[in-house]
A = this chain, B = another copy of it.
Amino acid sequence: MDVESVFHMAGGVGDTSYSKNSSLQKKASDMVKHITMEAVQEVFLSLNKPNSFGMADLGCSSGPNTLSIIKDIIKSVEEAEACGVNVKFLNQCPTITTKEFRVYLNDLPTNDFNSIFKALPDFHGELKKSTRRSDLYIAASPGSFYGRLFPSGSLHFVYSSYSLHWLSKVPRALYDEQGKSTNKGCIYISESSPPTVAQAYQAQFREDFSSFLQFRSQELIPGGQMVLILLGRRGPNHIDRGNSFFWEILSRSFSTLILEVGDD
């Protein structure tokens, strides 16, 4: 399966869309929002308030979360622009010199970028009311973040939330020499999976994450920062990931579905 060409969150704004079903992802992002904002302000100030600030949201998907985090980051930079870190009363700060703010929204090419774009005129209108910023450039850069996405040294800040646990491909090591799956009847790492399955996913993650870091190191300017939010686990047991019951339920649903189709 060519993941880059087919994988995406459910588009549009209907009842089953990602846009209407991403409160969990919003919650995760909100939990560490203070870290994100501190990092943005730190990079902005430590790089001496660059004239053209570039940031990317990798795996932005489509929905309210996409533009909501951009708005928060813009406000955060505006605070730092005005008086430094932790400014609470922006209106009391002296007028700032206008600086360019470049935002690149990234996801796989089948992501529903159209829905984000349709929301942009209102978003720009709203921003004009709530911030002083008028020189905001939002662009979409479709492609896999396991490959090169942006020109050299064009970014100051990289943000990625709830995306990096998606691998670039189904690990080759999941299949035996005859090309048969060693993880029969299971999706991802389940209780009944043999140990080689966890190892296969781990190796794929290591390979993917190394690529991710390698390419970002070319795109970020020296002194730039990243905030990466991804699923993890508390203990050494691969099955204990907090959300593994999702995979069990999904796995059973698929099995039932396949049996039903087989009966017809």
Contacts and interface: CB of A to CB of B under 8 A. Distances in A.
A113 B117 contact: yes
Number of copies: 2
Chain A interface size, under 10 / 10 to 19 / 20 to 34 / 35 or more: 20 to 34
Interface stretch (A68-76, A138-146, A252-260): A138-146
A109 B2 CA distance: 29
A15 to B, nearest CB: 20
Contacts of A111: 117
A117 B121 contact: no
Interface in A219-242: none
A114 B113 CA distance: 6
A140 B137 CA distance: 11
A49 interface: no
Given A4-B121, A121-B4, A121-B109, A140 B139 contact: yes
A127 to B, nearest CB: 13
A156 B148 CA distance: 22
Nearest to A113: B113
Most buried by B among A5, A149, A151: A151
Given A109-B120, A113-B114, A121-B109, A151 B139 contact: no
Given A114-B113, A117-B110, A102 B52 contact: no
A140 B143 contact: no
A139 B109 contact: no
A104 interface: yes
Contacts of A180: none
A19 to B, nearest CB: 14
A118 interface: yes
Contacts of A117: 109-111, 113, 140, 142
Given A104-B139, A109-B117, A138-B142, 19 more contacts: A4-B121, A5-B121, A11-B114, A52-B151, A100-B151, A102-B151, A109-B121, A110-B117, A110-B118, A111-B117, A113-B113, A113-B117, A113-B140, A117-B140, A120-B142, A137-B150, A139-B140, A139-B141, A140-B140
Those 4 A-B pairs whose CB atoms lie nearest each other, nearest first: A109-B117, A139-B139, A117-B142, A140-B140
